[in-house]
Amino acid sequence: MLMPTAVIELSDVSALTHLPAPACQALNRLYDCRAPAIHLMLRGATHRLHWRFGGIQDFTGFDRYRFRLGPHTGWLALDAPAQAALLQERNHALLPADLRYVLLADALQSVVATLEAALRLHFEWSPGDPAEDAESLAPPEAAACFTVATDGQAWPWQGFVLFQDPSALDKLVPALPAAPASAVGTGFDGLRVPLAFRIGDSTLSLSEVRGIRPGDIVSVERWTAAGAGLVVQAMVGGPAGRQLIARAEGSRITVTQWRDPSMKR
């Protein structure tokens, strides 16, 4: 017999990763679908950066470059194709770490200048101890994942930004402008919902139902007339949703009233 165990609050479960609320709010702003692409000039070509939630499943296949932005310490992680293009060296893994930092700083010079001007914070590359384990300092779940691509590029580069203090991201990510009232909910407003109208109902025994064959006529026992037509009903959103009551005349259905069960609560 299984003995009942004490209830544990989700916030107290040690197996779950815990992120500070400011970090979660900052990530929500980054991943907001309204956030526009960020245009970057890299190696003479315009690239577009998009923040992508869940875009990286395995955080181990990336090289990390340590930096300091104002008082915040963080890492920029890039996949192999991104490093090969930015460092202009296919065998970049064979280069000394210090040289890779120099080449990356040269490739991202204009990006860093724009970042400093926007945030009014000083940025500097800060190579750390090669044995430093960034994952032990900050959980991968706090990483802000992104993709970078240009026109004609077969596959986008992948990368992420991770701060030693996950809450630092909240101080660096600006709030998005409020969406116009007309744009709110446009995705759901365009969703097409089928309406099935009922003209009435009948009661049959199971044996009668099993005996129904093509061509049989089943009478509608309970129905309501409305002039030359019939009263019909449709439910939107199931029994707890909105009920439409209409008058059917041929192929034309005219809605006469609607009822919202939630208004009766």
pLDDT in tens, 62-121: 899 999 999 999 999 999 999 999 999 888 888 999 999 999 999 999 999 999 999 999
CB atoms within 10 A of CB 151: 8
At 2, the pLDDT band (50, 70, 90 cuts) reads: low
Write a three-state SS string for the chain. Answer: CCCCCCCCCHHHCCCCCCCCHHHHHHHHHHCCCCCCCEEEEECCEEEEEEECCCCCCCCCCCEEEEEEECCEEEEEEECHHHHHHHHCCCCHHHCCHHHHHHHHHHHCHHHHHHHHHHHCCCEEECCCCCCCCHHHHCCHHHCEEEEEECCCCCCCEEEEEEECCCCHHHHHCCCCCCCCHHHCCHHHHCCCCCCCCECEECCCCHHHHHCCCCCCCCCCCEECEECCEEEEEEEECCCCCEEEEEEEECCEEEEEEEECHHHHC
Look at residue 139 and tell me whether its pLDDT is greater than 60. yes
Q: What is the mean pLDDT of residues 146-172?
A: 91
Rounded to 5 degrees, what are φ and ψ at 195?
-115, 120
Give pLDDT tens digits for 6-32: 677 766 666 666 788 888 889 999 888
CB atoms within 10 A of CB 214: 4
d(Cα 220, Cα 91) in Å, to the nearest integer? 78
In angstroms, what CA-CA distances link 176 with 27, 32, 36? 12, 9, 10
What confidence score (pLDDT) does residue 182 get? 54
Number of other CB atoms surrounding residue 172 within 10 Å: 19
**In this predicted structure, what is the pLDDT of residue 50?**
93
Question: What domains can you pick out in the chain, each with its CATH number?
Answer: 18-175 (3.40.1550), 225-265 (no CATH)
What are the structure tokens assigned to 181, written together?
A: 């009232």
Residue 183 clears pLDDT 60, i.e. is over it: no
CA 49 → CA 40, 135, 149, distances in Å?
Answer: 7, 24, 7
At residue 259, the pLDDT reads 82
Q: 25-45 burial, b for 16+ CB within 10 Å, e for fewer?
A: bbbebbbeeeeeeeebebeee
Residues 206-223, mean pLDDT to the nearest whole number: 90
